[in-house]
Amino acid sequence: MDGRDQTERLSADRAGIARAADLLAEGGLVAFPTETVYGLGGDATGGLSVARIFEAKGRPSFNPLIVHVPDLATAETLIDLGPPLRRLAETFWPGPLTLVAPIRAEAEIADLVTAGLPTLAVRVPLHPVAQALLTTVERPIAAPSANPSGRISPTTADHVLDGLSGRIAAVLDAGPCDVGLESTIIGAGEDRPVLLRPGGLALEEIEAVLGAELAARGADITAPGQLSSHYAPGATLRLNAAAPESGEAWLGFGSEPVLGTPCLDLSPSRDLTEAAANLFAYLRRLDDQSARIAVAPIPETGLGAAINDRLHRAAAPRS
Ligand code: TXA
Ligand code: MG
């Protein structure tokens, strides 16, 4: 617990942001909106705050966290980017991109954040409320997605409260997230940048800026968020389905509705950006209505790669 029984729902105005910054500065936990998903924020310089994040999420403590800062200049006080990652930062920050690079010796980051790794994950979010919070609090904020460990990431303040009410000090409510998928994570790699997690920034856009293909993630890389059943709903999922079978709810993609069963369409016009924004909320809604969900095929291009990554994890056998 966070020493409070009640989680405050703060409106995303000047007073709410000031209250959130005060709570963070006192070592409290505040969930806040980013353009990807809601993050569960704590002061990244305070070991106790970071420990509270793990406690609130019920997350295994070997899982390192992403640190959020307002701009590239602040990021460079924490990590050594090197030329290729700096080019990505200059192009895509602020935005749905996380960069993993060697942590600087002078960076004041609690050891628990990196879980003992010599690298640190840093992100500059685009969402104006996240930006306002980070510039007000004037310290790096560690924030995993604001869901209990192993559950679907939250794209609204209600999702946050469903999982963490009473376990965190407050949630800043700015409505639904635009992107709806976690950030794409890129590491420095040995000879060229490496993809650690597909996400809200399409790989095609990153490779166009680098003028080269990304390396694939090696089996040795510690990214426990990549454990197979990481985004699990309660229901079982059947992927690449042509149509629902009897007893299955239907998550379509530009598909005809099916009578007599709960149906949602990720994007009637087959727009992958719209589908990404709807994915987690629609999985939650169908999960509430059915024990089995059939999912239409999603193309593997653009944000489709990250959507399919999350769907495969949601469909994986539970540990
Ligand atoms: O969009 C996002 O990235 C959201 C918002 C809140 O910023 N955050 C998020 O955090 O998705 P989380 O904790 O759910 O996922 C962070 C991922 C994990 O898979 C973790 O293992 C990986 O980042 N990670 C963190 N530090 C790392 C490092 N030094 N090396 C490799 N992977 C790292
Ligand atoms: Mg997560």
Pocket residues: Cβ below 6 A from ligand 1: 34, 36-37, 39, 63-66, 98, 100, 114, 117, 119-121, 123, 143-145, 182-183, 185, 196-197, 222-226
Helix (H), strand (E) at residue 159: helix 157-164
Query: What does the pLDDT read at residue 28?
Result: 97
Tell how strand 184-187 and strand 97-102 pair up.
parallel
* Dist. CA 263 → ligand 1 center (Å): 31
Q: For ligand 1, atom 12, name the residue with the nearest CA.
A: 144
Ligand nearest to the CA of 41: 1
Of ligand 1's listed atoms, the one at least distance from the Cα of 39 is 6
Query: What does the pLDDT read at residue 234?
Result: 86
C-beta of residue 247 within 8 angstroms of C-beta of residue 292 = yes
Reading the block at residue 126, the tokens are 């685009």
38-52: pLDDT as tens digits = 999 999 999 999 989
Query: What does the pLDDT read at residue 243?
Result: 94
∠ CA 72-78-83 to the nearest 5 degrees? Answer: 55
List for the chain the helix, strand, coil content (%; round to 5): 30, 20, 50
Q: For ligand 1, atom 18, name the residue with the nearest CA.
A: 225
Query: CA–CA separation, 19 vs 172, rounded Å?
Result: 9
C-beta of residue 188 within 8 angstroms of C-beta of residue 269 = no
Q: What is the CA radius of gyration of the chain?
A: 19
CA atoms within 13 A on the CB side of 108: 8
In single-letter form, the type of residue at position 266 comes to L
Long-range pairs, 70-77, Cβ under 8 A, ≥24: 70/124, 70/131, 70/134, 70/135, 71/124, 72/124, 74/140, 75/99, 75/122, 75/124, 77/104, 77/106, 77/107
Of ligand 1's listed atoms, the one at least distance from the Cα of 182 is 1
Measured in residues, the chain has a length of: 319
C-beta of residue 56 within 8 angstroms of C-beta of residue 164 = yes
Query: CA–CA separation, 289 vs 293, rounded Å?
Result: 9
Which parts of the chain have pLDDT scores under 70? 1-5, 60-62, 218-231, 319
